[in-house]
Amino acid sequence: MGRVKRYRTALSRHHRSAGHGIHSPFAYRFVLDVLRERNPYYCYGLLHELRHAVIAKTKRHFRHPRIISFKNAKLIFRVTNFFNPPCVLQIGTSYGVSAVAVKSVSKESWLHLYEPHIDRYPVVADVLSPLMNRLVVYDSFHDAFEACRRSWQQPFVLINDLPRTGDYEEILNSIVPMLQSGVVVIMRNLSRNPEMKRLWLALRENMTSGHSYTNEKLAVIVANPKLPRQHFFLWF
């Protein structure tokens, strides 16, 4: 969905985001209590300060650093907090703020991060260093996925971007089978990265049950086999 179409559908998406026309009790709760939640959480202050510190440091190296918005960092935290997974697979991180949002849910959870370009941004080591007791960084998607697969009770994946050319097929083929077993997937940068949009559409097409929620910039798949297949286009 391009920018013009997003503006054209803004009213209907905003109406649905208030809960109007949502008949599923799970979807109604998820939209209002997670995606649209406005009450503050304990970690918001940390995320706000961290993001501004990262912006200040990266400006020395990049004129226009693309750092996750505070709004999306909070959203990632809320979705992760709602499901509270003991193990998360994260694909791509850039400056590390999204990883902190995930790990802010629980000090006991494990984060397996596939990021082959971890040294690309000088600030990322400082951001991730407090998390390293339960964070493992991988140069290979296969290794990161296998480490998670062995310990997953509830599959949970955050995809920020596709770090390497050729990642698309491997990631798609790894996640599609988990759509039958209740995987939760958060995807970012749908409007900026055509490959991310393509991956999102392919995963949605392969869903046989569960819900998807999107504002066409960020998407969440909740592939719960107990939920009927429904797709929600929202404002969040």
User: pLDDT tens for residues 101-143?
Assistant: 999 999 999 999 999 998 877 788 889 999 989 999 999 999 9
The answer, yes or no, to whether residue 204 has pLDDT greater than 80, is yes
With beta carbons less than 8 A apart as the criterion, state whether 191 and 218 touch: no
Token digits of residue 195: 């490959």
The answer, yes or no, to whether residue 156 has pLDDT greater than 60, is yes
- pLDDT value for 12: 57
- pLDDT value for 94: 78
User: pLDDT tens for residues 72-93?
Assistant: 999 999 999 999 999 999 999 9
Angle between helices 44-58 and 70-83 (to 10 degrees): 140
- pLDDT value for 8: 53
pTM beyond 0.75 = yes
Instruction: List the domains of the chain with CATH numbers.
Output: 11-233 (3.40.50.150)
The answer, yes or no, to whether residue 7 has pLDDT greater than 90, is no
Distances (CA, A) of 221 to 30, 97, 154, 163: 12, 21, 13, 21
Which among 153, 161, 170 is positioned nearest to 110, based on CA atoms? 153
- pLDDT value for 236: 85
* CA 112 – CA 142 distance, rounded (Å): 11
User: pLDDT tens for residues 29-41?
Assistant: 999 999 999 999 9
With beta carbons less than 8 A apart as the criterion, state whether 92 and 114 touch: yes
